[in-house]
Amino acid sequence: MDMEWRQSKGEGVIATFTVVHRAPDPAFKADLPYVIAIIELDEGVRLMSNLVEFDVQSLFIGQRVRCLFDVVVQESDEQKALGVPKFTLV
Protein backbone atom coordinates (compact mmCIF):
# COMPACT_ATOMS: atom_id res chain seq x y z
CA MET A 1 0.00 0.00 0.00
CA ASP A 2 1.41 3.37 -1.03
CA MET A 3 0.98 6.32 1.28
CA GLU A 4 0.85 9.89 0.11
CA TRP A 5 0.01 13.37 1.40
CA ARG A 6 -3.53 14.57 0.68
CA GLN A 7 -4.89 18.11 0.83
CA SER A 8 -7.78 18.57 3.26
CA LYS A 9 -9.97 21.48 4.30
CA GLY A 10 -9.78 20.13 7.88
CA GLU A 11 -13.46 19.38 8.50
CA GLY A 12 -15.25 16.11 9.11
CA VAL A 13 -17.26 14.09 11.61
CA ILE A 14 -16.62 12.14 14.79
CA ALA A 15 -16.51 8.44 13.78
CA THR A 16 -16.03 7.26 17.39
CA PHE A 17 -14.56 8.57 20.63
CA THR A 18 -13.70 7.75 24.22
CA VAL A 19 -13.50 9.99 27.29
CA VAL A 20 -10.40 9.41 29.41
CA HIS A 21 -11.03 9.95 33.15
CA ARG A 22 -7.89 8.31 34.56
CA ALA A 23 -4.49 9.60 33.48
CA PRO A 24 -2.18 6.90 32.09
CA ASP A 25 0.74 9.02 33.30
CA PRO A 26 1.04 11.94 35.76
CA ALA A 27 1.91 14.23 32.82
CA PHE A 28 -1.71 13.96 31.57
CA LYS A 29 -3.44 14.50 34.94
CA ALA A 30 -4.02 18.24 34.37
CA ASP A 31 -5.85 17.48 31.09
CA LEU A 32 -8.51 15.20 32.63
CA PRO A 33 -11.07 14.47 31.40
CA TYR A 34 -9.91 14.46 27.78
CA VAL A 35 -11.30 12.93 24.61
CA ILE A 36 -9.54 10.76 22.05
CA ALA A 37 -11.49 10.44 18.81
CA ILE A 38 -11.33 8.95 15.35
CA ILE A 39 -12.21 11.74 12.93
CA GLU A 40 -13.39 11.01 9.40
CA LEU A 41 -12.42 13.97 7.26
CA ASP A 42 -14.75 15.03 4.44
CA GLU A 43 -12.13 13.77 1.97
CA GLY A 44 -12.51 10.21 3.37
CA VAL A 45 -9.31 10.02 5.41
CA ARG A 46 -9.59 8.91 9.05
CA LEU A 47 -7.21 9.97 11.79
CA MET A 48 -6.95 9.77 15.56
CA SER A 49 -6.80 13.04 17.46
CA ASN A 50 -7.97 14.89 20.54
CA LEU A 51 -11.15 16.95 20.80
CA VAL A 52 -10.79 20.31 22.56
CA GLU A 53 -12.95 23.31 23.56
CA PHE A 54 -16.27 21.50 24.10
CA ASP A 55 -18.65 20.14 26.75
CA VAL A 56 -18.10 16.36 27.14
CA GLN A 57 -21.83 15.78 27.66
CA SER A 58 -22.64 17.32 24.27
CA LEU A 59 -20.55 14.90 22.15
CA PHE A 60 -22.07 12.35 19.80
CA ILE A 61 -20.92 10.20 16.88
CA GLY A 62 -21.52 11.92 13.56
CA GLN A 63 -21.04 15.41 15.01
CA ARG A 64 -19.27 17.94 12.74
CA VAL A 65 -15.76 19.03 13.74
CA ARG A 66 -13.01 21.24 12.33
CA CYS A 67 -9.26 21.13 12.74
CA LEU A 68 -7.18 23.57 14.72
CA PHE A 69 -3.50 23.32 15.53
CA ASP A 70 -1.91 23.24 18.97
CA VAL A 71 1.55 24.75 18.55
CA VAL A 72 4.20 22.92 20.53
CA VAL A 73 7.74 24.29 20.82
CA GLN A 74 10.45 21.67 20.99
CA GLU A 75 13.53 22.48 23.04
CA SER A 76 16.70 21.73 21.07
CA ASP A 77 19.65 23.46 19.48
CA GLU A 78 17.12 25.40 17.40
CA GLN A 79 13.64 26.47 18.50
CA LYS A 80 11.21 24.56 16.29
CA ALA A 81 7.44 24.86 16.39
CA LEU A 82 5.33 21.82 15.66
CA GLY A 83 1.61 22.08 14.87
CA VAL A 84 -0.35 19.19 16.40
CA PRO A 85 -3.79 18.76 14.77
CA LYS A 86 -6.70 18.72 17.22
CA PHE A 87 -10.39 19.12 16.57
CA THR A 88 -13.22 21.23 17.95
CA LEU A 89 -16.95 21.21 17.33
CA VAL A 90 -18.28 23.21 14.37
Residue 53 lies in a domain: yes
Can you give the CATH number for the domain in which 57 is found?
A: 2.40.50
Q: Residues 44-76, buried b or exposed e (16+ Cβ, 10 A)?
A: eeeeebbbeeeeeeebeeebebebeeeeeeeee
Q: What is the pTM for the complete model shown? A: 0.84
Mean pLDDT on 26-30: 92
Query: What's the domain count of the chain?
Result: 1
- Predicted pLDDT of residue 83: 85
Q: Comparing 11-15, 61-65, 83-87, which segment has the lowest mean pLDDT?
A: 83-87
Residue 16 lies in a domain: yes
Residue 5 lies in a domain: no
Residue 58 lies in a domain: yes
- Provide the total of helices (H) and of strands (E) in the chain, helices listed first: 0, 5
Residue 70 lies in a domain: yes
Residue 39 lies in a domain: yes
Mean pLDDT on 69-82: 75
pLDDT at 41 over 60: yes
Range of the domain at 42: 11-89
CA torsion angle 84 27 47 72 (round to 10)? 0
Residue 46 lies in a domain: yes
